[in-house]
Amino acid sequence: MVRNIQVLVSVFIFMCIMSSGGRLSAQDPVFSQFYASPMNLNPGFAGTTYSPRIAFNYRNQWSSIFNAYTTYAVSYDQYFEKFKSGVGFTALVDQAGDGIYNTGKFNVTYSYTLPITKEIFLKGGVQAGIHQVNLNWEKLVFLDQLDPTDGSLNTSEENRPDQLSKSSFDISSGILIYSKMFYAGLSAFHINTPNESLLDVNPELLDGLPMRISLHGGAQFSLTPDNKTRFPAFISPNVMFTKQQSFKQINLGTYVGLGPIYGGAWFRHTFSNSDAAIFLIGYNKGILKIGYSYDWTVSKLQNESNGSHEVSLILNLDAGKKRKPDYNDCLKMFR
């Protein structure tokens, strides 16, 4: 049974590799806890704190399907008030099929803040870096390798590609408008549609990595006067729409904070089908913020996927200051 699953995964990934030289391409991983990895949502989010903000993210999607997708990310960003600028970097590794096909990204991000009024601000961000794909050929198992008598593995007759890894330059950008009450943003990733194909094909036949467009926004409402009580509380409804080639998804839900405890619930719909309900619980005290979320699959994969698990760890060094900064905006959930 395990061999059969491994064969199916190998064949599927190999078909994707072959197709990437034509009209099909992989999609970016999108975190359910998008607030914990904001620069992967919009480069304009670079610099949400005056002191360094360091975040670690882990996602295990459909773990029961042969470790279908595992994603790791780390990021740093900080705002420099004197220059009205935010800077940051992100590093991300995405492993598909138990590490058969791996994607690595390293990006540097810069944002600039422009006051429109005393209470409304506009931020523009740009991101540039290296995008790398790698195929672990030794982990692939094809049908012609299976011995029908005892299930042992023979040598495959499949042709190995000349190159098993590929690096390319990647450019992204985003814009963000926010006030004390609301935020809204638009981002575009892979503007230059980098070539990630491992095959030597005619460049005119390549579409490259498709651009990912995201529209997102939300609001924040305080549930305690001026948030100066012992357990300040707020609620933040938000929405995120993402489109990459033919794939589209929308996340709609609410983030809630009550003193050191926070949580949330969202519903993700992929237009072709309802995909998952997302539940979040977390703890925020001092410089530490840690969260766990579970994607409860409601699509046809419900009985096979075992859902998706996600963990985030944020170190916000602003929170360790004797006097907490008065941000006067609604980006609290992103800190």
pLDDT tens digits, one per residue of 269-290: 988 778 899 999 999 999 999 9
What pLDDT shows up at residue 198?
A: 74
CA–centroid distance for 232 within its chain: 29
Supply the pLDDT for residue 203.
Answer: 54
Q: Which neighbouring-strand residues pair with 137?
A: none
Give the model's pLDDT for residue 22. 43
Q: What domains can be seen in the chain, in order of their start residue?
A: 2-334 (2.40.160.40)
**136-164 residue pLDDT tens:** 887 777 776 676 676 666 777 677 777 88
| Predicted pLDDT of residue 201 | 56
User: Can you list the pairs that 59-62 forms with residues at least 24 positions away whose Cβ atoms lie under 8 Å?
Assistant: 59/29, 59/31, 59/32, 59/308, 59/309, 59/310, 60/308, 60/309, 60/310, 61/29, 61/295, 61/308, 62/297, 62/301, 62/304, 62/305, 62/306, 62/307, 62/308
From the number of C-beta atoms within 10 Å of its C-beta (0-12, 13-18, 19+), residue 98 rates as middle
CA 136 – CA 133 distance, rounded (Å): 10
* pTM for the predicted model, two decimal places: 0.86
Tokens coding 285: 């005290």
Question: Can you list the residues of the chain whose pLDDT is less than 70?
Answer: 1-26, 63-67, 144-145, 147-148, 150-153, 157, 199-207, 225-230, 300-305, 322-324, 326
| pLDDT of the residue at 237 | 97
Is residue 291 a contact partner of residue 312, using CB atoms and an 8 Å limit? yes
